[in-house]
Amino acid sequence: MTVNRLTRIIALILVPFLIAPDAALAKKPLTPEKAKEKITHRGVGHSVRLVLVDNTTVRGMIAKIGTEDCEINVEGSGQMQPVAYSQMTEYHNGKLSKVAKIGIGIAIGVGVFIGGAAAALGSRDD
């Protein structure tokens, strides 16, 4: 198997992974009711990352959950920031997302595959 053919095979394998995430991960808007539900489910004392309407990100621990807003103990500054549920556009827990973990796993797998293929082609005596 030549290097050119190997490159084509790898490209064919990777193309669906590069195209599919946009279609599969189209986000639905976060309603205030859904935002409150997610924050309540996560609970006081747990870390979150929130994206607000003005595209600012608030990262920290949930300190208080109210009926119209919640208070976040902002990471790094220690200040309490009230965040209205109606101002949230995205909610994430404070850890790596499932998609990020899958992406890291795919990248590692592809790297191992390419490294193994390169080693096999390089050590072959012609």
Per-position pLDDT tens, the chain of length 126: 566 777 888 877 777 666 655 554 555 668 889 989 999 998 898 889 988 888 889 899 999 999 999 999 998 888 999 999 998 988 888 777 788 889 899 999 998 888 888 888 776 655
**Distance, CA of 42 to CA of 59 (rounded, Å):** 14
- CATH code of the domain occupying 27-108: 2.30.30.100
Count Cβ neighbours within 10 Å for each residue of 43-69 and write b for 16 or more, e otherwise: eeeebbbbbeeeeeebebebeeeeeeb
Phi, psi at 4, each rounded to 5°: -60, -45
